[in-house]
C-alpha cells in the first residue's frame, strides 16, 4: 500500500500533484472562469459579508491557517485572526453572534479544535470546517465545510493534507473576493489559471529530490536548524521547522526572517544551518539582505529560490530551485523541498519516519 515507496510519508509527498488535482476537481475550471465550493454554499453570503473571521487549528493545520490569514486579508479585506485551538478554548475569547469561525483539521478529530468549535457554536458563531477525513467529528458538528479530498494521510507528519488545505483555503478566499469585488477580474482569472497549474509545478518541484538527499547527508548530524521566510513564506518556515523536529528529532525553529535580528541571530555560528525560503516575490530583496546577515556570521545557508535565480547562488552554500508562481500560491510549491529535507534527514538518522516517537496521527486528548 506504500505504492513502492519506502515510507508512507514519501508516498504522500510524491502524491501531491494528484492530491491537489483531486482537491480542485469539479471545483475549478479556469478557462471557464468557474470556481465552486459545494460545501460553502448556504453560508457564502455570511462569509462575503463577514466583519471578522477566526481560524482555529493545531500544528500543521495552524500553519495553513496563517497562510489563509494573509490570503483572506490580502484579497477579501476581511480581518482574520488565527488561533491555536488549545488557547482559544480556554481564554474567554470574544465571539459574537454571526461571527465566522473556521476550523482546519486533517483528521477532523483533534480534541482541542473540536472543543474550540463547540465553544464558538455555543456563542452563536457560524462554524465551518476545512477537513480531510469524511464523516469525522468536526465535519459533523460544523454548519458547512469543504473537504480536502486529499485521500487518507497515514504518515504522522502531515504533508499532502497541508497543501490540500492551502488549496481549499485559496479557493475559498478567491470565491469571497470575487463576490465582494475586492479583487479585479483580471487578477481573479490570473490566479485561477495559476492555481490550475500548481499540480504540474509541484511535480517539477519534486525533481529536486536527489539534490536534497545530498544536502541531507551533509546536515544530518546538525543539532539545530533555523528556518526563515517572509510574507507568505513565513508560515512555510514554521512548517519546515515543525516537519524536521517531529521526524528527525533535530531542534529547529522557524521565524519571520526580519525577526532574526531581535534575538535568534545570536545563535548563528559556522555550525548553524539556516534554511531560507527566498523565492522571487515582494520581499525578495529584503530576504537577500537577511541571507547576507547570516553569511556574515558564517552560518550555513540553504536557500529555496525561484528557477533562474542568479544572485542568491553567489551567497548561499546550497540553492534549491522551485518553479515560479504567484506570491500567494508560493507556499504550495516552496514547502515541497522542506518536506523532502526533513524526510531524508530523518531516514539518514535511522528514525521511524511514519511513526515518530511520542506522536499520534490525531491528538484526540487535550
Give φ, ψ of 227 to 5 degrees: -120, 130
Binding residues (CB under 6 A) for ligand M6R: these are 58-61, 105-107, 110, 113, 156-158, 242, 246, 359, 362-363
Per the annotation, the verdict on 361 as an active-site residue is yes
Tell me how far apart the alpha carbons of residues 92 and 31 are, in angstroms, rounded to a whole number: 46
Smallest gap from residue 359 Cβ to ligand M6R (A): 6
Q: How many CB atoms lie within 10 A of CB 104?
A: 33
Which lies closer to ligand M6R via its Cβ, residue 101 or residue 305? 101
Tell me how far apart the alpha carbons of residues 25 and 199 are, in angstroms, rounded to a whole number: 12
Smallest gap from residue 364 Cβ to ligand M6R (A): 9
Which of 201, 150, 142, 191 minimizes the C-alpha distance to 171? 191
Tell me how far apart the alpha carbons of residues 163 and 13 are, in angstroms, rounded to a whole number: 10
Q: Three-state SS for 23?
A: helix
Smallest gap from residue 103 Cβ to ligand M6R (A): 8
Which lies closer to ligand M6R via its Cβ, residue 272 or residue 340? 340
The secondary structure of residue 52, as a DSSP letter, is: -
Beta bridge partners of 131: 105, 147
Alpha helices by DSSP H, 181-283: 185-196, 198-205, 209-219, 234-248
Which lies closer to ligand M6R via its Cβ, residue 244 or residue 312? 244
Give φ, ψ of 317 to 5 degrees: -80, -35
Smallest gap from residue 361 Cβ to ligand M6R (A): 7
Smallest gap from residue 77 Cβ to ligand M6R (A): 27
Which lies closer to ligand M6R via its Cβ, residue 105 or residue 290? 105
Which lies closer to ligand M6R via its Cβ, residue 140 or residue 261? 140
Residue 241, C-alpha cell as written in the block: 521547522
Task: Provide the strand spans (E) within 64-140.
Answer: 80-84, 100-105, 126-131
Smallest gap from residue 139 Cβ to ligand M6R (A): 12
Burial of 165 (0-12, 13-18, 19+ CB in 10 A): buried
Q: How many CB atoms lie within 10 A of CB 78?
A: 20
Q: Which residues are catalytic?
A: 361
Amino acid at each position: 500500500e506504500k505504492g513502492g515507496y519506502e515510507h508512507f510519508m514519501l508516498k504522500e509527498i510524491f502524491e501531491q500533484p494528484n492530491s491537489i488535482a483531486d482537491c480542485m476537481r469539479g471545483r475549478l475550471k479556469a478557462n471557464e472562469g468557474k470556481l465552486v465550493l459545494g460545501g460553502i454554499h448556504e453560508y457564502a453570503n455570511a462569509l462575503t459579508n463577514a466583519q471578522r473571521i477566526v481560524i482555529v487549528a493545531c500544528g500543521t493545520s495552524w500553519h495553513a491557517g496563517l497562510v489563509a490569514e494573509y490570503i483572506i486579508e490580502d484579497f477579501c479585506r476581511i480581518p482574520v485572526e488565527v488561533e491555536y485551538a488549545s488557547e482559544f478554548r480556554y481564554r474567554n475569547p470574544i465571539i459574537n453572534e454571526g461571527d465566522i469561525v473556521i476550523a482546519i483539521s486533517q483528521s477532523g478529530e483533534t480534541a482541542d479544535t473540536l472543543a474550540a468549535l463547540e465553544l464558538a457554536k455555543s456563542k452563536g458563531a457560524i462554524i465551518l470546517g476545512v477537513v480531510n477525513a469524511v464523516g469525522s467529528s468536526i465535519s459533523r458538528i460544523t454548519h458547512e465545510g469543504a473537504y480536502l479530498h486529499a485521500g487518507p494521510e497515514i504518515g504522522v507528519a502531515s504533508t499532502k493534507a497541508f497543501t490540500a488545505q492551502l488549496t481549499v483555503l485559496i479557493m475559498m478566499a478567491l470565491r469571497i473576493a470575487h463576490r465582494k469585488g475586492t479583487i479585479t477580474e483580471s487578477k481573479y482569472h490570473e490566479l485561477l489559471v495559476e492555481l490550475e497549474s500548481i499540480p504540474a509545478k509541484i511535480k517539477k518541484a519534486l525533481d529536486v529530490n536527489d539534490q536534497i538527499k545530498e544536502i541531507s547527508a551533509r546536515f544530518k548530524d546538525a543539532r539545530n536548524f533555523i528556518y526563515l521566510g517572509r510574507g507568505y513564506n513565513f508560515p512555510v518556515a514554521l512548517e519546515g521547522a515543525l516537519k524536521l523536529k517531529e521526524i528527525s528529532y533535530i531542534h529547529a525553529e522557524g521565524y519571520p526572517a526580519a525577526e532574526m535580528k531581535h534575538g535568534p541571530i545570536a545563535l548563528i555560528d559556522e555550525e548553524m544551518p539556516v534554511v531560507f525560503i527566498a523565492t522571487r516575490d515582494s520581499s525578495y530583496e529584503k530576504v537577500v539582505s537577511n541571507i547576507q546577515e547570516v553569511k556574515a556570521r558564517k552560518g550555513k545557508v540553504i536557500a529555496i529560490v525561484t528557477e533562474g535565480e542568479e544572485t542568491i547562488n553567489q551567497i548561499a552554500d546550497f540553492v534549491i530551485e522551485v518553479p515560479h508562481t504567484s506570491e500567494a500560491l508560493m507556499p504550495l510549491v516552496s514547502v515541497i523541498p522542506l518536506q523532502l529535507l526533513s524526510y531524508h534527514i530523518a531516514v539518514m538518522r535511522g528514525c521511524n519516519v511514519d511513526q515518530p516517537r511520542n506522536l499520534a496521527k490525531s491528538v484526540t486528548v487535550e
